[in-house]
Amino acid sequence: MEIQKAATRDGYGKALLELGKINPNVVALDADLSDSTRSEYFAKQFPDRFFSMGIAEQNMIGAAAGFAFSGKIPYASTFAVFSERAYEFVRNVVSRNKLNVKIAGSHAGIATGEDGKSAQAIEDIAAYRALPNMTVLQPCDSVEAEKVVFKLADYKGPSYMRMHRNPVPVIHSFDYKFEIGKGEVLKEGKDVVIFATGTLVHESLKAVKILESENIKVYVVNIHTIKPLDTSLVIDLAKKTNCVVTAEDHNVIGGLGSAVAEVLSESYPCIMKRIGLQDRYAESGKPEELYKKYGLDAESIAEEVMKIVNKKR
């Protein structure tokens, strides 16, 4: 049976369209990239509630803030790396005033591939995580992306949703119950836990098959909400395994690895390894080639896990 694949940006566009049908207060804004972010689905159905702001991300965020002030629910999308052009607006207008603006950044991480390092956002989680009042989310498949879009319509406050360009396996069924701030245990183990987010959830699940052949039993946890982090689950599984790995398509500085390390350093220090970009930019290339070169593919994850488990033993 062929595994269904879809990009999280596709889930975003599909859910935004469906949400628009049932909630007239939803509006969508985009910075001249609606075809890439898939907000064009909404635009075609609701042209009077869609606003193309051109290549003017600061203006987009300012307008979204205005909609939020007037009681609308604005979803503002662009490429993740371009959303950072409006960072000062997000900070001083949206975050500081706790405005109900939903920011969506597509084409995140080095999985963006051939577009090269100028378009590969590897610092966006760190930037948005540092803002008070900001919720930071990264769905791992298209179904979860749909769930995030609908959940954010009921959530009051600013948020940043990180999305990806390329199709990944759909691992969730449509009856999946998504909850902001609660990690999802996908695989039970005992020797080590991998806290993964986004595309690295799939690489981690593939790594498990390699590790099981080495008699290493692995927890795999989908951390779809990086802020607020599910600290109770992080601490609980750290205590059970005393061996923690984080995996993300992002710089290891400031991302999921930093978030987990911050919690454990204060609550339960243990052996830990952060897998991600090692404080460097990548380059242009096919996503699978870049993942292999920079140690984000399943084989590299398995190798690092074996090293840390042997260290614990």
Catalytic residues: 57
Rounded Cα distance between 196 and 66, Å, is 35
Using a 10 angstrom Cβ sphere, with 0-12 exposed, 13-18 middle and 19 or more buried, the burial of residue 188 is exposed
Rounded Cα distance between 268 and 190, Å, is 17
Instruction: Report which of 313, 145, 97 is spatially closest to residue 216, judged by C-alpha positions.
Output: 313
Q: Which value, to the nearest 10 degrees, does the dihedral of the CA atoms of residues 224, 226, 228, 231 take? A: 90
* Torsion sign (Cα): 12, 17, 20, 26: positive
